[in-house]
Every structure is written in C-alpha cells, then in structure tokens.
Amino acid sequence: MDVLRKTRWSRLVLLLGLALFASMALIACSDDEDPEGTTETGATETATTESTGEATATTEASAGGALRIGYLADFSGALAEFGPAIQTGVDLAVKHINDAGGVNGAPIEVIVGDDQTDPTAATEEARRLIEVEGVSAIVGPLASGVAIAVAEGVAVPAGVVVITPSATSPGITTVNDDGFLFRSTTSDAAQGVVLAQLATDEGIDNIGVMYLNGAYGQGLADAFEAAFEGTVTSASFEDGQASYLAELQAAAAGGADALVAIGYPAQAQVFVREALENELFSNFLFVDGTKSQELIDAIGADALEGFKGTAPTGGPETEAFAAWEAAYVAEYGDVPELPYIREAYDAVVAIALAANAAGSNEGSAIRDNLQKVGAPEGEVFLPGPEGVAAALAAAAAGDDIDYEGAATTLNWDDAGDVTTGYIGIFQYTGGGIQELDVVPFDLSE
C-alpha cells in the first residue's frame, strides 16, 4: 500500500530479536489490573457454558473422562466488552473438535469464568474452575497482570495449563511457571518495534505516551521507547480515574506531536476526549488494547478519523488464516475486526491436540505435549473443521503433527512464547476499523 509499503517494514524482522532483549531489561512486572483488548459480542455453542456476565456451570453434566477447559475472561470490569467477543473463537474451536468426535473418546466441555479484570477476583475464579469444576487447562485470562496472578497463584501449583490468547507483556516470558504458562499471541517486544516504525513513518519525532500502570502497559511502553529514535515523554495512569488531565499534561510537557494511547477502551474514552477538549493532543496512535469499536462509538467517528495503530494479527497470505476465516464466516457471517479471537481458537485446539497426543486429559500430560503438536518438523494441519479432525486423528495415532494456528504458527519456545507471527497496522476510518498492512516477525534466531 502507498501508506505502508511492505518493503519499508522488511528490515524490522531483523530488529525484533534485539527488541525482545531490550524490553526484558526494561520491563517491571506488576500484578495491577491490566487486560488486553479484543472485539464485538459472541454466542456460545451447546458444548460450552452460556455467559451472562456471571460464572456459570456447564449446560450438560460432565461425562466421565471428558476434557474440561476453563475459559477465564472478562464479562465485567474494565474489559467487559471483550470476554463475549473472544468467546466466539473458543466456541468455534469446541464445535470443530466435538464434531470430529471430541478428545480421548468424549466431547470436550468449557466452563466459563468471569475474572472481572481483577487479579484477586481472577485468582478466586480460577480456584473454582480448578477445584470445583475440575478443569485441566484454562484459556485466558486476557490481561497480562491477571494472567500472571492466576498462573503463579493457582494454576501452576495445581498443575493446570494456562494459555492466554491476549496477554502480550514481555513479563509473561519470565514467570516461574514450571512450563504450564503459554500464550498463543506474541510478546509486545514485537509490537513495540512496529509501533515505533509506524510513528516514524507518520513523520512524528516527538511523542507522548499514556500507558496503563501494569505489566501490559509498562511492557509495551518500554518496548516502544526502546525502539523509537525520537523524543518520548511518558506518563502512567491507573484504571478507574475520573480524570486523566494531570497525566495528559505530563505527557504533553515535552512538546509532543502525538500521543500513543496504551490502555483499554474505558480509560481511553476519558483521556482521549480530555486531550481533545483541552487541546493537549490532536494526533493519536493506538494499540491492541485501544483497538475498539466501543471507543469509536464513545468518542465519535469524526474525532478518530484517520488515526492509526498496531495490534497482533494473523498472516493474511497463509493457508491457515484463510481456512480459519472461511470457517468463522460460515459460522458467524462476518470476519472479526479486532484481535485475539483467532488466538483463542488456536489455544483450545492446541489443548485438545496435546491431550489426544498424550492419551490423557491431565494437565501435566497436556503441558508435555503442547510444544510437540506445533513443532515445525511434523505434518502440517490447518484450522477449520476438516483440518482439526485430521489433526486430532493424527495426534491420537502418535504421528508427528504441526498445527499451523489461525493467528500464529504456535511454534512455542521453552518459555511458552510463540516465536513467529504478525503485527497488523490498522486505521480508524468511516466509523469502523480498516486493516492497512501486516508485518511479519521472527524471534526464533
């Protein structure tokens, strides 16, 4: 595209390994509230629980030996917009798995929990999912700080696998997790580099950063600042403030030309409006957490028209992406605009494949086989009903398989991080969100 030519981005792949190291040196992990963003509303399949904003039990009694997976996400709190949206990816995966006969001879079941975008509430809800509902794995939480709290406080001691589809903080990499914590999205070590290049390409050399104080906000802000060659003036903020005017004034103090909004829609609705009304900023860059239709509706399409941002995405030219998109459209009618629905689908499928490969639904057995089902030396299988069915059969037969995810390859390293993937460039336009370009990255070397 004229706006962002792919040749301009190709050199970024070489920088991402360095960015990962730099961001790990800068990151200050936190257990503060700090979720990651996604999309519109979703529906549930019969094999999953229906979510009403409260944690609920399964619609059917658990059959003996059935693989039970917890979906721990936000149905209230700062990310209430996003829990039902990402659940559409979970539901689609469950449908494809159960239509293929389930796992280890039984349909899988998903039990939904509301983490309220709060580490304490999330820890208690995770305890319920594990100790009462008997889940062997959890998809979620969405927030980096919440995911760390759940893994360290409950899941790892209980031997339960956690795959977060959206926690992007580099701090996830260093959690002492005994191999039980994975993510199906990419570290913000990659997004920070792409965001910095986008700012440069927009002609910005002096920029303010507003970031949510927590693992996600701090991690992405640090990665961006390490990669950006111009002047950066940063200000952190807390969730739930009635006004962010003081923080905006601090971010603008260096004479910034634009503001990077690193947070979530409920917060951004307040501080973007305050920035405009007080004429502190008139130019913005957004990220995955502020990539939201809710934000457009609250601020107004005209006020956000033309502003750009970055977010993890799937590779538009891959067979896996195309296969998943066709299956999603067949089920729901439209392709989702915002991130992490694909990642949630991949997380559920990976758990199912690992359990089938192990011949066991135990958490430790799933953990020990997750890297194997995405290993690049195996036979390639794609998302979608046919691909998932074939992959489940191959895994049960003991074959070497390489499930190519809808969002990433799921080539996991020893820290549970995906090593390759894509960062998308989007733009607010016409009251919606338009995808402009996709930047590949490779952190495996």
pLDDT tens digits for 289-336? 999 999 999 999 999 999 999 999 888 778 999 999 999 999 999 988
Q: How confident is the model at residue 46 (pLDDT cuts 50, 70, 90)?
A: very low
Q: Does the pLDDT at position 344 exceed 60? A: yes
DSSP-H helix ranges across 167-300 = 188-201, 215-227, 245-252, 265-277, 293-299
Region 259-279: mean pLDDT is 96
Give the residues across from 15 on adjacent strands: none
Q: Is the pTM of this model over 0.75?
A: yes
Choose between 344 and 442: higher pLDDT.
344
Which tens digit of pLDDT belongs to each residue from 9-35?
444 443 444 344 344 433 333 334 443
Per-residue confidence (pLDDT) for residue 419, from 0 to 100: 85
Which tens digit of pLDDT belongs to each residue from 353-408?
999 999 999 999 999 999 999 888 899 999 999 999 999 999 999 999 999 999 98
Average pLDDT, the chain: 87
CB atoms within 10 A of CB 278: 12
Which tens digit of pLDDT belongs to each residue from 409-440?
899 999 999 988 889 999 999 999 999 999 98
Q: How confident is the model at residue 6 (pLDDT cuts 50, 70, 90)?
A: very low
Region 261-279: mean pLDDT is 96
What distance in Å separates the CA atoms of residue 156 and residue 310, rounded to the nearest whole number? 32
Positive or negative torsion for Cα 379, 385, 390, 394:
positive
Domains assigned to the chain: 6-16+188-313+422-442 (3.40.50.2300), 68-187+317-421 (3.40.50.2300)
Question: Residues of the chain with pLDDT > 90: what percent?
Answer: 77
Per-residue confidence (pLDDT) for residue 443, from 0 to 100: 72
Per-residue confidence (pLDDT) for residue 48, from 0 to 100: 42
What distance in Å separates the CA atoms of residue 408 and residue 443, rounded to the nearest whole number? 12
Per-residue confidence (pLDDT) for residue 445, from 0 to 100: 60
Per-residue confidence (pLDDT) for residue 441, from 0 to 100: 84
Per-residue confidence (pLDDT) for residue 389, from 0 to 100: 98
DSSP-H helix ranges across 307-413 = 319-332, 341-358, 363-373, 385-396
Region 102-125: mean pLDDT is 97
Give the residues across from 212 on adjacent strands: 237
